[in-house]
Amino acid sequence: MAHYETSTLIDTLLSGNNLLLSLRGPDLDMLKPHLRALQAPSNSVLYDPGQSVQTVYFPCHRTLVSFLVSTEDGSAVEALLVGREGAVGGIVSQGNLPAFAKIAIQTGGDLLSIPVNVLDECKLRSRAINNLFSRYADCLVAQMFQTAACNAAHSIEQRTAKWISAAIERSGSREVPLTQERLAAMLGVGRSYISRVIGTFKRDGTLAVRRGHLVVKNEDQLRARACSCHEVVKEHFHAVLKGVYPET
């Protein structure tokens, strides 16, 4: 991962993270001197399980980050997807505690970062900052609950459509750099199942496939094939943190 920063660049990246942008005036000014910019390629790892969480990362613009939980067969199933609406690392808990899940870059791009201990100090000094991250932690937990229910109750086709819908909304791009093999692993299903689902989506004009990329051709058809879980998560975001989740 490459680190780089200027005050102008920090301001530019701030415009690409809705969670930080929801802060105003002195509260945002309190964080800005401590923010650092970096670029991270797809598949790079921010945290491995057990690693001490010392930095909070804010995905900017099209960057997507996944929380991945390892299974006995060595695969990694996605528990959470985070984009410009949020942050990863040291959010639900405070202090330098060990990471439970692997946190990896799903779609490479820009991020802002801040040390966990600095953010904790700012939470103590600012009621608005503390309130913002407490509410965001609630949204993360709600998303995890919904993911668990979705995995148990819905078909592979519904879950695939839901995941792609969530990815394009968070990134603002209809093109998702992701192989079918990796999507299958993240959803915890066999590669052959995903191939059949993607084949159906291709035939009806919902998706196109390029090398290593899924391209959404018809968003309405994609949403029609998805379960309602993503919409439930969005509604909770809007109720708890109005304006933070990306509007489509």
pLDDT tens string 126-150: 999 999 999 999 999 999 999 999 9
Residue 113: how many CA atoms within 13 Å on its side-chain side?
A: 19
Torsion angle, alpha carbons of 152, 153, 156, 157, to 10: -160
Give pLDDT tens digits for 148-193: 999 999 999 999 999 999 999 999 999 999 999 999 999 999 999 9
> Strands, E, within the chain: which ranges?
2-3, 36-40, 45-47, 55-59, 64-70, 76-82, 102-107, 109-115, 175-176, 207-210, 213-216
What pLDDT sits at residue 73? 81
Helix (H) or strand (E) holding 20: helix 18-21
Instruction: Give the strand order in the sheet containing 207-210.
Output: 175-176, 213-216, 207-210
Q: What is the sign of the dihedral through the CA atoms of 23, 24, 25 and 27?
A: negative
Say whether pLDDT at 2 is over 70: no
- pLDDT category at 4 given cuts 50, 70, 90 is low
C-alpha to C-alpha distance for 161 and 198, rounded to whole angstroms: 9
> Is the predicted pLDDT of residue 211 greater than 90, yes or no?
no
Q: How confident is the model over 106-125, as pLDDT tens digits?
A: 999 999 999 999 999 999 99
Q: Which tens digits make up the pLDDT trace of 9-33?
A: 898 999 999 999 999 889 999 999 9
Q: Show the CA angle centred on residue 102, arms to residues 55 and 54, nearest 5°.
A: 15
pLDDT given at position 97: 83
Does 1 have pLDDT greater than 70?
Answer: no
